[in-house]
């Protein structure tokens, strides 16, 4: 068991190393950072001097080693545009992104499961058909379009919700939260719906399909034959067995919700890490871009590792195969 | 009961309205100002780029400031003149000016700031490149000695902002942040200027709040009708415009071309349109022996003036204005905008579109079948820059110059232009000094780094260079203007650049404000007067 986890952890490290290498190498070609740091009329000699002091003239391998050594200590250097440590900028922006991703995931889970169960049980009802239509929209419309449509409806026409920003935030230690203020909650509604819509439709479709599958199995038939109440069959037996894959998917999707928050954050001017990343791309702020990619890589790898480990705990079949010599 | 309640409500509303009217003149006005990009620092000497200067100009002040129309008016200096020595300028400082921390402005502060602005780490030092030394004559007079005669020194001082010496020293910000040192100084996130607005709070990339400074010297002299500025960078075009339409911001400085008409039709909004002091043009690499992006090897068609003339003749500026710019541009025949010294309407003409003649010129030059070439443009810097690239490519195809449009972010584009790596490119040039010299020195002079730093065409002409040097030293206005005119005649003939148009700026705002377009797009809010309903 511990050998398995160790092996997985080593694999995770290898993946992180690769992500670091790719992000590092890619951004060396994203434009001249010196050009972005200084104004129009800095002389070539001064530009060379800045290049040299930033270490941009060192061999690639040296630059990469220096970068990895720093990253291991969560030191991603200084942002070229803001002149602040990247780690600090990310730390300031992280609460906004995590809060948005978490609320979006909860919305997706709650509504996705409810709608999925309903449309599995009442397959032919009008409401189930409506849910199917909504899920089609969620799957096929791109996030930025949904965001802009929501803004148009709720901000421009109805004037109910703010079209951008995070509203007022409350401070809990270094964490800032918009969950405790009215304007913060109002500002959270549209971005979280936009971000969660795709996950919601995914979960809804998954729950519906799994539920239909499970309802056909023998043990459900036995339960019915024993005369158990329909409610107990549906929710006690069928739904419970449906949820295992749903939780797996939802867990894995949490990573992509955080990563894909970039688009939602741009549309709603949500002051999170994704917006920081987009601004960094515009300004060729390599330290921020590289750190962000590393961070997203870390989140994905961590979640995958956690899911792998959870699997072995949840599913006894996996555990027994691990004990066998390969 | 119901009707009683209604009466009470009506009474309350009437009372509130009465209060509102009574309180009208003293009502505080907040301007929520959205722009696509934030300033990277509050340090006035850290970056000589538009988005930074825009914000720091509300907080700090120069000796001389430009109004919305580009005209220079006194700020911290009440008067200035060249002394009998043509190398020495004298500036009389304004009395009774205080910094936001209450300390009075002294000649020491001005000397300190000019020295700081000239230091190696400063990004505005190029504005002061002609300065030899700065000295104090008395507590309210300073003298600036230049290396050679510099007629444009006052023009260059309009973006050199004055800081408080004691404050900067006390906060360990004397050394300007140098990107290479990686250290953030106090002055990058905090400010103490003499300007109309003092910083209340700042969250980089999110929000900067500034409030009218009670002790501002200009009270009574300038309108100062805006009490508070909330500066909000919103990079996404759609989000920025929506925030304006839904009433969450009051003023949007960068309006995408495609939204202008829709905003003009909205009765709750006001749209101000005016030409900017910026030309947009195409540069051709005339100096390279061989064009990298062309399959034509061993010869450079752009080296032949006839080819360049043919290119100019094939471009239909009016069609670009109509179809790409949606009317929001002023077609141009010369790359100096009308606001700048040296512009004349005689220069601002271009040959009529004549495809047969253009093909004839190509044939004469030895390219009867035309040639293929890549046109490289930025895609995030100028109004519809990418569209222009595609439009021009289509037009050149008609004379057999098969043009492949290639677009890239300005971050990459500018580096390639400056290193003369491009064959054919789009560039824009804002004339910060409002004088042709700035165009000659940076776009036409042989690229030596300090001069000709943005000349990506490889154009190098000894006679032109010599004339530019003469111009830079000449203090007699009439002789200067004669040199400028002679240079433009010569350079227009060369067709190194093909002028397309001067860009227009569009400001959109709530009806409650009327902010005129600033010709450099650097609006200084102290000049904004009220428009109350």
My answer on whether B158 and B284 are in the same domain is no
- Provide the CB-side half-sphere exposure for B472 (13 A, CA): 19
Check if the beta carbon of residue B385 is closer than 8 Å to that of residue B426. Answer: yes
CA separation (Å) from B352 to A179, B234, B284, B371, B487? 63, 41, 20, 22, 23
Which has the higher per-residue pLDDT, A326 or B496? Answer: B496
Q: In the prediction, which pLDDT does B190 show?
A: 92
Closest CA of chain B from A305, distance in Å? 34
Query: Sorting pLDDT into bands at 50, 70 and 90, what band is A1?
Result: low
My answer on whether B517 and B374 are in the same domain is no
Query: Sorting pLDDT into bands at 50, 70 and 90, what band is A46?
Result: confident
Indicate the Cα dihedral angle B162, B234, B379, B308, nearest 10°.
-40
Task: Report the distance separating Cα B168 and Cα B171, nearest Å.
Answer: 5
**φ/ψ of residue B401, rounded to 5:** -90, 95
Q: Are strands A175-177 and B131-138 parallel, antiparallel or unpaired?
A: unpaired
My answer on whether B244 and B325 are in the same domain is no
Check if the beta carbon of residue B281 is closer than 8 Å to that of residue A202. Answer: no
Query: Could you give the 3-state DSSP secondary structure of residue B489?
Result: helix
Nearest CA in chain B to A277: B205
Closest CA of chain B from A27, distance in Å? 12
Task: Report the distance separating Cα A325 and Cα B201, nearest Å.
Answer: 63
Q: B11: burial class by Cβ within 10 Å (0-12, 13-18, 19+)?
A: exposed
A89-108 tens-digit pLDDT = 888 888 999 999 999 999 99
Task: Report the distance separating Cα A199 and Cα A40, nearest Å.
Answer: 45
- Residue showing tokens 């505080």: B28
Q: In the prediction, which pLDDT does B445 show?
A: 95
B52-67 tens-digit pLDDT = 899 999 999 999 999 9
Cβ contacts of A310-318, under 8 Å, gap ≥ 24: A311/A248, A312/A1, A312/A4, A314/A244
My answer on whether B286 and B227 are in the same domain is no
My answer on whether B239 and B296 are in the same domain is no
Q: In the prediction, which pLDDT does A316 show?
A: 61
Q: A324: burial class by Cβ within 10 Å (0-12, 13-18, 19+)?
A: exposed
Residue B507 CB: number of other CB atoms within 10 A?
22
Closest CA of chain B from A299, distance in Å? 24
Check if the beta carbon of residue B96 is closer than 8 Å to that of residue B76. Answer: no
Computed from CA positions of residues B414, B416, B419, B421, in that sequence, does the dihedral angle turn out positive or negative? negative
Taking an 8 Å cut-off on Cβ atoms, the answer to whether B248 and A162 are in contact is yes
- The arrangement of strands across the sheet holding B88-93 comes to B77-82, B88-93, B141-146, B131-138
Whether B494 is in a domain gets the answer yes
Where b means 16+ CB within 10 Å and e means fewer, B291-304 reads bebbebeeebbbbb
Q: Which of A78, A155, A275 sits opposite B182 (nearest CB)?
A: A78
Whether B350 is in a domain gets the answer yes
Q: Where are the alpha helices (DSSP H) in B172-304?
A: 186-189, 237-245, 260-265
**φ/ψ of residue B134, rounded to 5:** -125, 135
My answer on whether B244 and B281 are in the same domain is no
Taking an 8 Å cut-off on Cβ atoms, the answer to whether A164 and B234 are in contact is yes
A115-135 tens-digit pLDDT = 998 988 888 889 988 888 888
Q: In the prediction, which pLDDT does A259 show?
A: 80
Q: In the prediction, which pLDDT does B22 show?
A: 40
Task: Report the distance separating Cα B364 and Cα B371, nearest Å.
Answer: 14
Partner A contacted by B345 (CB < 8 A): no
| DSSP assignment letter at B351 | P
Residue A325 confidence (pLDDT) above 60:
no
Task: Give the tokens for residue B65.
Answer: 């400031």
Q: DSSP strand E in B44-140: where?
A: 61-62, 64-66, 72-74, 77-82, 88-93, 131-138
Residues of A in contact with B232 (CB under 8 A): 165, 269
My answer on whether B209 and B330 are in the same domain is no
533 residues of chain B, pLDDT tens digit each? 444 555 555 555 444 444 444 444 446 789 999 998 888 889 999 887 788 899 999 999 999 999 998 899 999 999 999 999 989 999 999 999 999 999 999 999 999 999 999 987 787 887 898 899 999 999 999 999 999 888 889 999 999 999 999 999 998 888 886 555 556 788 988 999 999 999 999 988 789 999 999 999 999 889 888 999 999 998 888 889 989 998 999 999 989 888 898 899 999 999 999 888 899 999 999 999 889 898 888 889 999 999 999 999 999 999 999 999 988 899 999 999 998 999 999 999 999 999 999 999 999 999 999 999 999 999 878 888 999 999 999 999 999 999 999 998 887 788 889 888 999 999 999 888 889 999 999 999 998 867 888 899 999 999 999 999 999 888 888 999 999 999 999 999 999 999 999 999 899 999 989 999 998 889 999 998 765 43
Report the candidate in A218, A223, A233, A238 with the shortest Cα–Cα distance to residue A113: A238
Query: Sorting pLDDT into bands at 50, 70 and 90, what band is A42?
Result: low
My answer on whether B219 and B343 are in the same domain is no
For B:175-234, CB contacts with A below 8 A are 177-184, 188, 203-206, 232, 234
Task: Give the tokens for residue B308.
Answer: 């360049």
**φ/ψ of residue B315, rounded to 5:** -90, 125
A159-210 tens-digit pLDDT = 888 888 888 888 887 788 888 888 888 999 999 999 998 889 988 988 898 8
Q: Where are the alpha helices (DSSP H) in B62-149?
A: 107-118
Nearest CA in chain B to A49: B180
Q: Are strands B371-378 and B401-408 parallel, antiparallel or unpaired?
A: parallel
Whether B256 is in a domain gets the answer no
Q: Which of A42, A81, A83 sits opposite B123 (nearest CB)?
A: A42
Q: Where are the alpha helices (DSSP H) in chain A?
A: 2-27, 33-37, 44-54, 60-72, 86-121, 126-140, 143-151, 182-215, 218-225, 230-231, 239-268, 273-282, 286-314, 316-323
Query: Could you give the 3-state DSSP secondary structure of residue A31?
Result: coil
Q: In the prediction, which pLDDT does B3 show?
A: 46
Check if the beta carbon of residue B351 is closer than 8 Å to that of residue B331. Answer: no
Q: Which helix (H) or strand (E) holds B279?
A: strand B269-284
Probe site for chain A from B182, B240, B249, B438 (most A CB atoms < 10 A): B182
Instruction: Report the CATH number that the domain containing residue B68 is assigned in CATH.
Output: 3.40.190.10
Task: Report the distance separating Cα B48 and Cα B129, nearest Å.
Answer: 14
Which has the higher per-residue pLDDT, A266 or B229? Answer: B229
Residues 6+ apart with CB under 8 A from B408: B376, B377, B378, B379
DSSP characters over A183-234 = HHHHHHHHHHHHHHHHHHHHHHHHHHHHHHHHHTSHHHHHHHHTT--HHIII
CA separation (Å) from B87 to B111, B134, B224? 18, 12, 37
Residue A52 CB: number of other CB atoms within 10 A?
12
My answer on whether B80 and B166 are in the same domain is yes
Query: Could you give the 3-state DSSP secondary structure of residue A166?
Result: coil
Whether B266 is in a domain gets the answer no
Least confident of A38-47, A143-152, B169-178: A38-47
Residue A224 confidence (pLDDT) above 80:
yes
Whether B533 is in a domain gets the answer no
ipTM greater than 0.90, yes or no?
no
What's the total number of domains in chain B?
Answer: 2
Closest CA of chain B from A160, distance in Å? 10
My answer on whether B188 and B52 are in the same domain is yes
Residues 6+ apart with CB under 8 A from A176: A92, A95, A96, A169, A170
Residue A307 confidence (pLDDT) above 80:
no
Nearest CA in chain A to B381: A282
Closest CA of chain A from B432, distance in Å? 11
Superfamily of domain A88-272: MetI-like (1.10.3720.10)
Whether B192 is in a domain gets the answer yes
Closest CA of chain B from A255, distance in Å? 24
Nearest CA in chain A to B120: A46
B449-465 tens-digit pLDDT = 678 888 999 999 999 99
Task: Give the tokens for residue B446.
Answer: 């042989």
CA separation (Å) from B491 to B287, B466, B470, B531? 15, 14, 16, 46
Instruction: Report the CATH number that the domain containing residue B358 is assigned in CATH.
Output: 3.10.105.10
Q: B227: burial class by Cβ within 10 Å (0-12, 13-18, 19+)?
A: middle
Whether B264 is in a domain gets the answer no
Q: Which of A32, A42, A152 sits opposite B415 (nearest CB)?
A: A32
DSSP characters over B205-232 = TTEEEEEE-TT-TTBTTB-----EEEEE
Report the candidate in A281, A296, A260, A298 with the shortest Cα–Cα distance to residue A27: A281
Q: In the prediction, which pLDDT does B20 show?
A: 42
| Every domain of chain A and the residues it spans | 1-81+283-326, 88-272
Q: Which of A46, A54, A151 sits opposite B242 (nearest CB)?
A: A151
My answer on whether B202 and B329 are in the same domain is no
Partner A contacted by B412 (CB < 8 A): yes
Taking an 8 Å cut-off on Cβ atoms, the answer to whether B204 and A82 are in contact is yes
Taking an 8 Å cut-off on Cβ atoms, the answer to whether A282 and B37 are in contact is yes
My answer on whether B299 and B219 are in the same domain is no
A to B CB pairs, distance under 8 Å? 131
Q: In the prediction, which pLDDT does A324 show?
A: 47
Which has the higher per-residue pLDDT, A80 or A234? Answer: A234
**Maximum separation of any 2 CA atoms in chain A, in Å:** 87
A55-88 tens-digit pLDDT = 777 787 888 888 788 888 888 877 777 777 888 8
Full residue range of the structural domain in which residue B178 is found: 2-250+512-527
Whether B151 is in a domain gets the answer yes
């Amino acid at each position: 068991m511990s050998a398995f986890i160790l092996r997985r952890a080593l694999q995770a490290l290898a993946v992180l190393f690769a992500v670091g290498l790719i992000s590092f190498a890619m951004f060396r070609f994203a434009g001249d950072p010196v050009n972005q740091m200084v104004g129009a009329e800095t002389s070539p000699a001064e530009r060379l001097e800045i290049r040299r002091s930033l270490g941009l003239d060192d061999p690639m391998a040296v630059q990469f080693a220096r970068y990895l050594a720093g990253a291991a200590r969560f030191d991603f250097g200084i942002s070229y545009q803001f002149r602040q440590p990247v780690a600090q900028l990310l730390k300031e922006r992280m609460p906004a992104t995590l809060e948005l991703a978490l609320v979006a995931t909860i919305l997706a889970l709650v509504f996705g499961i409810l709608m999925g169960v309903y449309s599995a049980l009442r397959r032919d009802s009008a409401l189930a058909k409506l849910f199917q239509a909504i899920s089609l929209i969620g799957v096929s419309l791109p996030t930025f379009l949904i965001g802009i449509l929501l803004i148009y409806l709720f901000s421009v026409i109805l004037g109910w919700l703010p079209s951008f920003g995070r509203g007022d935030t409350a401070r809990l230690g270094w964490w800032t939260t918009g969950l405790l203020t009215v304007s913060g909650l109002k500002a959270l509604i549209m971005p979280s719906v936009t971000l969660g819509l795709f996950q919601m439709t995914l979960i809804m479709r998954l729950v519906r399909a799994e539920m239909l599958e499970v309802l056909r199995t023998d043990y459900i038939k036995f339960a019915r034959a024993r005369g158990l109440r329909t409610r107990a069959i549906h929710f006690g037996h069928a739904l419970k067995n449906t949820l295992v894959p749903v939780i797996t998917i939802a867990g894995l999707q949490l990573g992509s919700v955080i990563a894909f928050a970039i688009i939602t954050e741009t549309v709603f001017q949500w002051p999170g890490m994704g917006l920081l990343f987009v601004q960094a791309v515009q300004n060729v702020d390599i330290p921020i871009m590289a750190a962000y990619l590393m961070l997203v890589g870390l989140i994905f790898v961590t979640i995958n590792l956690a899911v792998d480990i959870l699997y072995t705990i949840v599913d006894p079949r996996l555990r027994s195969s691990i004990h066998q010599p390969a | 009961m119901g009707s009683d309640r209604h009466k009470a409500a009506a009474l309350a509303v009437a009372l509130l309205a009465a209060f509102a009217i009574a309180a009208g003149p003293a009502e505080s006005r907040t301007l929520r100002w959205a722009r696509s990009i934030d300033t990277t620092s509050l340090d006035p000497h850290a970056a000589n780029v538009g988005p930074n200067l825009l914000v720091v100009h509300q907080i700090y002040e120069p000796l001389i400031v430009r109004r919305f129309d580009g005209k220079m008016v006194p700020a911290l200096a009440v008067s200035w003149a060249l002394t009998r020595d043509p190398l020495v300028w004298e500036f009389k400082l304004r009395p009774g000016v205080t910094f936001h921390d209450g300390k009075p402005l002294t000649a020491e502060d001005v000397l300190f700031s000019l020295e700081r602005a000239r230091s190696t780490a400063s990004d505005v030092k190029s504005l002061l490149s002609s300065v030899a030394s700065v000295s104090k004559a008395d507590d309210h007079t300073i003298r600036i000695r230049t290396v050679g005669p510099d007629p444009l020194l006052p023009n260059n001082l309009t973006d050199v902002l004055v800081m408080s010496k004691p404050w900067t020293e006390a906060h360990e910000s004397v050394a300007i942040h140098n990107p290479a040192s990686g250290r953030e100084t106090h002055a990058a996130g905090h400010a103490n200027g003499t300007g109309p607005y003092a910083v209340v709070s700042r969250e980089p990339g999110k929000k900067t709040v500034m409030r009218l400074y009670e002790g501002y010297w200009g009270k009574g002299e300038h309108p100062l009708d805006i009490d508070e500025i909330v500066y909000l960078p919103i990079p996404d075009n759609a989000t920025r415009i929506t925030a304006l339409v839904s009433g969450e911001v009051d003023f949007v400085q960068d309006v995408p071309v495609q939204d202008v008409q829709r905003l003009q039709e909205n009765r709750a909004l006001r749209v101000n349109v005016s030409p900017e002091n910026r030309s947009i043009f195409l540069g051709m690499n005339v100096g390279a022996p061989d064009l990298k992006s062309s399959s034509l090897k061993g010869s450079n068609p752009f080296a032949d003036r006839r080819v360049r003339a043919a290119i100019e003749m094939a471009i239909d500026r009016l069609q670009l204005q109509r179809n790409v710019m949606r009317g929001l541009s002023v077609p141009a025949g010369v790359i100096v905008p009308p606001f700048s010294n040296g512009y004349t309407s005689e220069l601002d003409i271009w040959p009529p579109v004549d495809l047969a003649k253009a093909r004839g010129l190509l044939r004469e030059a030895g390219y009867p079948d035309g040639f293929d070439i890549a046109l490289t443009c930025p895609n995030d810097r100028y109004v519809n820059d990418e569209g222009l690239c595609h439009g021009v490519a289509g037009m050149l195809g008609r004379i057999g110059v098969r043009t492949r449009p290639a677009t890239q972010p300005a971050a990459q584009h500018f580096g390639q232009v400056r290193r003369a790596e491009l064959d054919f490119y789009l560039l824009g040039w804002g004339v910060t000094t409002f004088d042709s010299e700035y165009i000659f020195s940076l776009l036409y002079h042989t690229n030596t780094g300090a001069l000709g730093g943005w000349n990506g065409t490889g154009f190098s002409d000894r006679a032109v260079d010599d004339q530019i040097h003469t111009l830079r030293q000449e203090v007699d206005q009439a002789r200067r203007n004669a040199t400028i005119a002679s240079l433009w005649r010569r350079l227009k003939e060369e067709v190194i650049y093909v002028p397309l148009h001067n860009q227009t700026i569009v400001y959109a705002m709530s009806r409650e404000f009327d902010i005129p377009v600033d010709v450099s797009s650097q609006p200084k809010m102290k000049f904004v007067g009220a428009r109350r309903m």
